[in-house]
Chains A and B, each alone.
Chain A
Amino acid sequence: MKKRKLATALSGVMAVSLALAGCAGTENASNPKPAEGTKPTEVKKEEPKPAQTTIIVGRGGDSVGLDPARITDGESSRVTENVLETLVAYEQDNTNIIPGLAEKWEIAPDGKTYTFTLRKGVKFHDGTEFNSEAVKFNFDRWMDKSNPYHDKEGYEYYNDMFGGYKGDPNHIIASIETPDPSTVIFKMNRPLAPFMQNLGMFPFAIASPEAIKKDKDKFMEHPVGTGPFKFVEWKRNDSITLEKNPDYWQQGLPKLEKIVFRSIPDNSARLTALTSGEIDIMDGLNPDDTQRVLDNKDLQLFKRPSMNAGWLGFNLEKKPLDNEKVRQAIAYAIDKPGLIKAFYGDFAVPAVNPMPSSIWGYNDSIKDRTQDIEKAKQLLAEAGHANGLKLKFWAMPVPRPYIINGQKMAEAMQQDLKKVGIETEIVSMDWATYLEKTRLGEQELYLLGWTGDNGDPDNFLNNHFNKNNIGGSNRSFYKDEKVTDLLLKAQSEVDQAKRTEIYKEVQQILFDQAIMLPLVHSTQPIAASAKLKGYVPHPKGNESLEHVYFE
């Protein structure tokens, strides 16, 4: 193992042209082409082949923006995960907390004071020092609306995870102190049980204060962090390139020289590109295509452990979705297992609750409603809609791990809903607008979901059902006082057994009132070149690639 590391490190030193020649050679090996086309590369093939050091990541869409605090979609965060780092990190394949930029920490017994000791000698990519001031600068920027670097669109995750902004009644952080360059002390207004879990989330990655001060809008285009890879260039709609951070604080990492994220929107074209060696790894594999990957000895299949939920949401502010019976009728109308079989194959299980069973606190005693057209019609009649009704059905324009094909799944559900007399019109728009408009509450029925960030039930339930998060992740516009109280109580409770009880109760209430229709927990299939090693898909949906190398 050590030798291989050395070899990879050595090959990293070699000239880029050599590495590229190696890549061109491998492409030809896996992709027989007409003879005249191969001549120029054939000559180079004779040379000894160094291990490949550039990874080409094929994906469905471009990033939106590269400031993780502001832009939190998956295609953006998979890039920023490699560039910026958080105070604490997760283990490679689960959400247990390990040291990140903070070496160690102490938690006061009352759960209201956290003292972090920061790693020394860490530098941002722009050469400036990482220290306690940098940490404070970032938190001030997020929490303080009067901070000159605070963005007025706000920070959705910060708002949801830390109880709003400075001055809000439920805001968690009272103060941040920096007694010396390597110590940060967080003082809390009240205990927050998942605080450490939250700190590991990518939106709370520490950015270079100098870069933000220079131009906070440019930061969106050119992120500067402490991560294993440095940002190089962004060709819109085409590719994003990162290169190795030679001063990275973890010895021997990263193993790759370069990462190129390349957008290929069409799923089947992306698989073709992988088969022909144009890219090394891809997500957004059609479940039906997984067999082709397994049958191909040049490829391998990874499965991302499931920590997500996709759902059909209801905007409770829009009539008649405020009526519990209408919502239940919709739940009875839809053939959930059929839908999942058709769109996910074997890579998903039907969802009952809005959080996956892999997370503690899951309520497994709830029995799901199954398709029952008569019952649905009867419920609709009781609600006064015996003659049917018309609804707008918002469908996501982009594939996400939880809802892999919003438009077509909406079409399938449209068929089911028609059977009980609900006519739907499928509405579509671009992703950014979709997120924004559903946040503001323009939708009626809508598809959305969530990939867990930190493995805590709070990260699923509090976000989406706390009434204070309306205008944030609570896109159901669910205003129940009791549920909000329960969720806040669970946040401040340090005893996990007691928290489990509360979360189970919340799930039962949500199910009974049919606040949303959980559809699916998916396992995302990822296809990659067989030569790729050291890749471990993280359940949170994205990971940094510092351990990846090629044979």
Chain B
Amino acid sequence: MLAYTVRRLIMLIPVLFGMSLIVFSIIHAIPGDPALTILGEKASPQSVEELRENLGLNNPWYQQYFSYVKDVVTGDLGTSLLTKKEISGEIGPYLAATTELAIFSLIFALFVGINAGIISAWKQNSWFDYLCMLIALIGVSMPVFWLGLMEQWLFAQELKWLPSVGRDNARDSVEAITHFYLIDTIMAGRWDQFNDVVKHLILPGIALGTIPMAIIARITRSSMLEVMRSDYIRTARAKGLGQFFVVYKHALKNAMIPIITIVGLQLGMLLGGAILTETIFGWPGIGSYIYTAINNRDYPVIQSGILVIAVIFVLINLVVDLLYAYVDPRIKYR
């Protein structure tokens, strides 16, 4: 197990280097002179020179790359061209907002997906099974931004059940401590605000969680079907254990491995899907941060935003792999 962990960590190094190279090239691979492209053909040579200096474009590229890596490793993510602030100082609240949303979506996806999958498998070929699998099928085909728009239209604008944008009530905004608003409101003992924050989470959470939910439901179902055909489940049934008990205790335990794998992958995808969901729901997360940066051609923010998400994605996958290896000893021989 330890050897595997070490090997897995060593494998991470070239990946992280390669990622930094790709992110680095976002500015440096712009055809022509990046500074001139950003500022335009008519910009004064002085301001072009200044931006070149700012972005460190005057050195040979490998020097630029190494100083970039050095900066990133020491926690310096560059300076936003738009706000003129250090990105490392700005990015925290955005990241917290995205993480909160992603975790909320994941919990939704897991809860609904696993239960729907189990019941579908349990009542295989029933109308419930068909309905669930149809919904799951449509779910994986659904563009997250369209689902978000439709939700916003129906539940916020037409029915007015839930708020349509933002993380909290602007009139009574949450005092940010950890920037995880659910935690902040609990710490402040403000249950009314907690309630507000949850309401703001529901629509974007469902939009973002639908695809993972559908995937989880399908995986759970097929994995459950396999397990339930196995001998010891049959034995358990024969022993007269209750259906519910058999399904939820014995079968689910054994069906968990593929589910864990897929969940790890999905959490990464959630971080990617966040850029679309956040754009629609005015969620001040890292997706909005990157989206605004794209619209303002704030290249350092685009770079660092993508890098941060990618690194988190890699780390999640690492944790999942290790978990997986822990749960399933066979993996060591791979």
Contact = CB atoms under 8 A, between A and B. Distances in A.
Are A and B in direct contact (Cβ within 8 Å)? yes
A214 interface: no
A440 interface: yes
B282 A264 contact: yes
Contact of A430 (B84, B192, B289, B296): B296
A272 B149 CA distance: 14
A436 interface: yes
A237 B296 contact: no
Contacts of B83: 236
B295 interface: yes
Contact of A237 (B43, B160, B170, B288): B288
Contacts of B296: 430, 432-433
B40 A278 contact: no
A34 B295 contact: no
Contacts of A260: 170-171, 173
B171 A276 contact: no
A109 interface: no
Interface stretch (B129-137, B161-169, B258-266): B161-169
B164 A272 contact: yes
Interface string B42-79: 11000000000000000000000000000000000000
Given A236-B90, A273-B165, A442-B40, A279 B170 contact: yes
B17 interface: no
Given A237-B292, A264-B282, A33 B161 contact: yes
Contacts of B165: 264, 266, 269, 272-273
A442 B42 contact: yes
A54 B171 contact: yes
Given A31-B160, A430-B296, A437 B169 contact: no
B168 to A, nearest CB: 10
B143 interface: no
A513 interface: no
Contacts of A34: 161
Interface stretch (A19-27, A82-90, A369-377): A19-27
Interface in B86-142: 90, 93
Interface in A60-76: none
Contacts of A238: 166, 284
Contacts of B289: 237
B42 A56 contact: no
Contacts, number: 98
A440 B164 contact: no
Nearest to B281: A269
A275 interface: yes
Given A24-B169, A276-B163, A430-B297, A269 B40 contact: no
B171 A23 contact: yes
Contacts of A146: none
A235 B42 CA distance: 33
A41 B192 contact: yes
Interface residues of B, number: 37
Contacts of B295: 397, 430
B170 A262 contact: yes
B287 to A, nearest CB: 11
Given A23-B171, A236-B90, A430-B295, A40 B160 contact: no
A56 B170 contact: yes
Nearest to B280: A266
A495 to B, nearest CB: 40
B39 to A, nearest CB: 8
A6 B289 CA distance: 44
A40 B170 contact: no
B156 interface: yes
Given A236-B83, A238-B284, A260-B170, A272 B42 contact: no
Contact of B171 (A24, A235, A442): A24
Most chain B beta carbons < 10 A, residue from A268, A279, A397: A268
Nearest to B171: A23
A275 B161 CA distance: 12
Given A238-B284, A440-B40, A442-B42, A276 B172 contact: no
Given A24-B169, A237-B289, A433 B191 contact: no
B243 interface: no
B210 interface: no
A280 to B, nearest CB: 9
Most chain A beta carbons < 10 A, residue from B166, B192, B195, B297: B192
A20 B172 contact: yes
Interface of B: 38-43, 82-84, 90, 93, 152, 156-157, 160-161, 163-166, 169-173, 191-192, 195, 199, 282, 284, 288-289, 292, 295-297
Nearest 10 CB-CB pairs, A to B?
A40-B192, A440-B42, A430-B296, A437-B40, A23-B171, A262-B170, A238-B284, A272-B164, A442-B42, A272-B157
25 contacts: A20-B171, A24-B171, A24-B172, A24-B192, A34-B161, A39-B195, A40-B195, A41-B192, A235-B284, A237-B288, A237-B289, A238-B166, A260-B170, A272-B164, A273-B163, A273-B164, A278-B169, A278-B171, A397-B295, A430-B296, A432-B296, A436-B39, A440-B42, A440-B43, A442-B40
Interface of A: 20, 23-24, 27, 31-34, 37, 39-41, 54, 56, 217, 220, 235-239, 260, 262-266, 268-269, 272-273, 275-279, 397, 429-430, 432-433, 436-437, 440-442
Given A272-B164, A430-B295, 5 more contacts: A31-B160, A272-B156, A278-B163, A440-B42, A442-B40
